[in-house]
Structure 1
């Protein structure tokens, strides 16, 4: 398989590394395309056996799969300025937030589009990606796409495309919410007199341990919370403050606003 990545930024490059790591593609069959001439040398250094180009240089695209990894706000401009024409049998995989399949098909004048929403832990091969496909894409083609996506972590096929905006808000943006909460906890530790690096250690190991408990316990989240929050204790004091300030509702509303923004990106 030959793959071209349109938009060789963080996500495009992390996908490329996963494909190469699991030998799903040969380095010489990978074409990395960026808008920025200044990034070419760095990309070429990182992927010495792969082809690197700027958008302006590409007049013909020799690839079985074209992955669109540009920012959604830039897609329309990029699509209007392509200097190549897609061939009938080429597959397109979009990892842009918000832009739906129909809009991609119209902009590229091409029917074979798969839309996916990964998240940043794909950088470590620990991401999760929701994806869906246009009509007319065969089962074998979809299996090939899934193999590629699974090299970056896990993937989940969604029958309904409109759920991808929710996936964008939940797991696509989700790591940032997680970091935000961790940052607040670390700063609370510092305020209590714990040295910053030590506070980071306590918080990160707590998060890691809690994650493994969720994965290995048969208890639900409410039960796990009750296991920590004894009546009249310290955890109960913290949780009461969260509830009094509607922390859970604020977090949920933030995620819903992220979904709303994902839908706006398509307009």
Structure 2
């Protein structure tokens, strides 16, 4: 579907590079189809050497070159990056944003181009295990939606929603979510070391336990409460641990954290 279609990636940080790597890993495109723009020469050389893609220091050159233009800059950089790109996209080009908080309207107005897809991937996309939520402006054609679905699918699992309001909510769950799990992993590893385990053993135990638990939950189809009850014997170790977590307000703190992430995503979109 993307064969011979030029793709521009503006701002190839971790997520932009994840898009490049995913497209090439799944052989959806060839390196010659990708042009990456970045201001630092060192970064451009690194990407060219790693992936064999074209590079440019000029974002406008990249935008004019691509039929699909992927915006992967940091939210704080968007106001500086977008104005020089105004009128660089052709009528049948597609802009795909992976910028947290940036609304379709703000991007479309800055580019003076209505065909915009907004998405929220997360960091596991780097290894093709991401969870991306996305939506599209009404002006995005069926063919362009298929392009977007293919591009975002290269990052892992992609879920389309029909209203943009879900994107800020998704940012608080899947976009920010890896940070919650990494913090939990860190705390569990540190507790294991405090108990007397080596850090290597504690890390292996925590990582595989978390991975296995997620896969088990996916395959079982059971509600998380049912899964938790199944491993919580009366008077047992799990019951003692859960009692402490509930006493410490884990549910409330986690809920508050997700709401804080949601509010921050909304704030970023108002800039």
Give TM-score scaled by structure 2 length.
0.93
RMSD (Å) for aligned C-alpha atoms? 1.6
Equivalent runs, 1:1-267 vs 2, <5 Å: 1-48=5-52, 50-55=53-58, 58=61, 61-82=64-85, 85-267=88-270
Pair 84,13 (structure 1): closer, same or farther in 2 beyond 3 Å: farther
CA contact (8 A) 1:59 1:83 kept: no
CA positional deviation for 1:231: 1.2
Q: Structure 2 regions of 5+ residues with no counterpart?
A: none
CA positional deviation for 1:140: 2.1
Q: Structure 1 regions of 5+ residues with no counterpart?
A: none
CA distance in 2, matches of 1:56, 1:70: 11
Pair 107,57 (structure 1): closer, same or farther in 2 beyond 3 Å: closer
CA contact (8 A) 2:12 2:72 kept: yes
Give TM-score scaled by structure 1 length.
0.95
CA distance in 2, matches of 1:82, 1:34: 14
CA positional deviation for 1:59: 7.8
CA positional deviation for 1:124: 1.1
Pair 146,264 (structure 1): closer, same or farther in 2 beyond 3 Å: same
Aligned pair count reads: 266
Pair 102,163 (structure 1): closer, same or farther in 2 beyond 3 Å: same
CA positional deviation for 1:80: 2.3
